[in-house]
Structure formats: C-alpha cells, structure tokens
Amino acid sequence: MLLVGTTAVACSGSGPATGPTTGPATAPATGSAPAPAPAGLDPAAQRYLDAVVAEDADAPAAAFAEDAVVIDVGREIRGRHDPAGPLPARRPRRIPRPPPPRHRRRPDHQGRSAVRPTRSPTRRDTVARQETVTFDNGDGTTLTGDLFLPDHPAPAVVVAGTWTSVKELMADRYARKLAERGYAALSFDFTGFGASGGAPRDVENPERKVRDIRAALTFLAGRPEVDGDRLAALGICAAAMYMSDATAQDPRIRALALVAPWLHDAEVCAEAYGGDGAVAERIKAGLEARARYDETGEVDYVPVVSVTDERAAMPYDIDFYLNPERGAVPAWPNRFAVMAWADWLTYDAIELAPRISRPVLLVHSEDAAIPQGARRFHAALAGRKDILWTEGTQFDFYDRAPQVELALDTVTAHFDRSL
C-alpha cells in the first residue's frame, strides 16, 4: 500500500485488513462529517490513471513508482516495498506528466476507418442535457430513467446503485458525472421501483433486475446520440452483482466497472448475516411471505433501515439512508419486501466471475462492505482485471466527494481504454 496525505491506495489483488466492513448486516459508524474534496487525485491513483491513458500493456510497470502495486491483465507488479508491510518514510514523488493524447483508428458502423482521440481521465465536458426517458422492459412494463448526454456522440454506460434504491439515491450522481467526462449515461428505476411501472412494488428480485439492465442496453443502443457498439456497465454496491450477471449473459457490454461492490455467495452471506442459521431464518421468512403474496396478493414490508424496528433489513443508524440531505429522498419509500430474502440470500454472484471475459475494474475499500467478496470475485475473473483499493466506508462511495470523484476518474480511465 502507498500512503500519501490522507488517502491510501493500493492496486492489488488483496488489501490490508485495516478495519471492519460495513454493509447490510454490519452496523456502520454514524455522524461522520463529509470529507473535504481533494485538491487533486492521490498520486498513486494519478499514476494508475496516467498508465491507463497510455494504453500500453507495459505502461503500468514504467509509470508506477517503485513502491506501487498494480494488477493489470492478471499480472502483479511489485516494487521493493511489501504493500502489507510498514510504509517507508518519504515525501511524495513528483507525479509523471500524462502522455499527450493519441489517436487510434477504429472502424465505424460502415466498416470505414474512423479516427477518434483517446481521452484524458480528468477531462470534463459540459453536459448538453438531461432527459427523462421511458422504455419497455421486455414484458410490457414501462421503465423510467434519466439519460445524461454530453455535447457530442459518445459511447454509453448503464448505471445502477444499491439494493432497494431508486435512481435519485446515487445512480443519477454517477451518470451525470460520467456525462461530464464524455460518456452518455443512463440511470433508471428498476421494475416495481420509483417512477417505473410494475408490481409487486419494491421487491428485490435479482433475475428481474438483470432483465431490466439488458432492456436498458437495448434502449441505449437505439439512441442516435450513442455509439451502440461501445456500451459499458457500472454497478455501485448491490448493482455490482446485477451488472456482472448482465455482462456474463450479454456480449454487448464491452467493459464493466464495479464501485464499492457488494458481491456475495452463500459463504459471504453467512459471514455477513450472522451465520448459516440466521440466513436460513431469513430465507424461511421470505418463502412464507412469498406464499402469502401468492395467496392474497398482499406484500409484507419492513423498513430497509431503522434504528427502532429490529425487523428492518438493516437495523442500524445509517446516516446516508436516514438523512434527507443524502439518501432519504422522497422517491425512496424505505421499505423492504420480506419475500425478497429468499432470492437475495440464494443469489451467487461469485460464480459469475469465471464467465466474464470482458475487462473489469473494481474500486473498493477494506472499510466498505464485504471486501472478501470483491477479492474472491476479482481472483476468479476470466479476462483483464484491475482492482483499486482506497479508503472510505461503503456509504462514502454513494455521495462523498473524495470517494466518488476518485472512483469516477478511475472508472473513466478503464472505459477509455476498454471501449
């Protein structure tokens, strides 16, 4: 690990155990003040981005400082310092200047050779417009989304956020900032959530969400402002599982990025939810609630987050979800369908990794949710894979400036070289 200022960054297959994780089954710290926006990227992250812009397989070894660590295309390049060991006392080195923009030739839709410049990951464009859009999910249900467009034709990214969320919680934020970086980006409400149609409402259904993502790709590919041959996916928290599933199934997704990814299987669920017995109890409650719904049409709900209701899916004081200035927006009803437990807890995202051969980037922290899931998923990926370890709680990656900006700059660099 390389420590510069207050931000720790290690690009490696595993990060040091620096603190407890936070997530749906772990009580988070509360009352933390927003971290100030950094004047610039952490030097280690900047070297990572500079190397990516170079788009050369050997660039990371040349661009990184001797004590940096990076995994690129499954290779681990280590310097003289063990990232898990003590840090050397030193001043930050001068950051290498990024290479000048290059041009590469790429066939256009008619097979002709077209020239497009590679972009710097720190480029900022003015968002031309934000458009409310609707599209069909494939079974006649209308989904509603926000499409953010730069002022030029562009590749496109479909964006989704944490479980039970609506687009206003964090997907809109990431989509807007991707458009500022030159990408068309679509955030949307899944079937039964927010402004989208469909019933039953507010049910976390992985299979249905993956189907919706694929419908969103079809919508994006048909937009005249979008290069339909250059599509990518970005998942934050639980959407990392659904975007990974869609990528494993749909070859139209040419690059995948996962920020603060919640990636679980039965083993991780047992660790996160208090053991196999506790998981079995939730699955049983979910199956019983599903049977009642099938019989009566009534959905049993509990809060997603609550400090007073022990039945809540996350019975903790989580500022992001309870603070109206953060995630407690009017469009989010803070309710969890009990019947969703069965599908949620039996969903295996780790087994998807060997089926994904497209380039994948993960941005995560040891203080965020289930980092062990991210490490196992990353290790099992079949194609080019990068993982960037930084600092921050799970909820910092939803709306805090340092984590969101670092994640977006790194994600943009990943898409720049992959699309």
The residue extents of the domains of the chain are: 270-340
Q: Determine the pLDDT at residue 123.
A: 55
Query: Which single residue is written with the structure tokens 């919508």?
Result: 219
Q: Determine the pLDDT at residue 367.
A: 96
Q: Is the separation of the CB atoms in 41 and 409 below 8 Å?
A: yes
What is the tens place of the pLDDT at every residue in 67-82? 333 333 222 222 222 3
- Those residues of the chain that have pLDDT short of 50 are 1-39, 53-122
pTM: 0.77
16: left (phi over 0), alpha (psi -120 to 50) or beta: beta
Q: Is the separation of the CB atoms in 349 and 240 below 8 Å?
A: yes
Instruction: Compute the C-alpha angle 247/406/244, nearest 5°.
Output: 10
Q: Determine the pLDDT at residue 270.
A: 97
* List of residues 6+ apart from 395 with CB closer than 8 A: 22, 28, 318, 319, 320
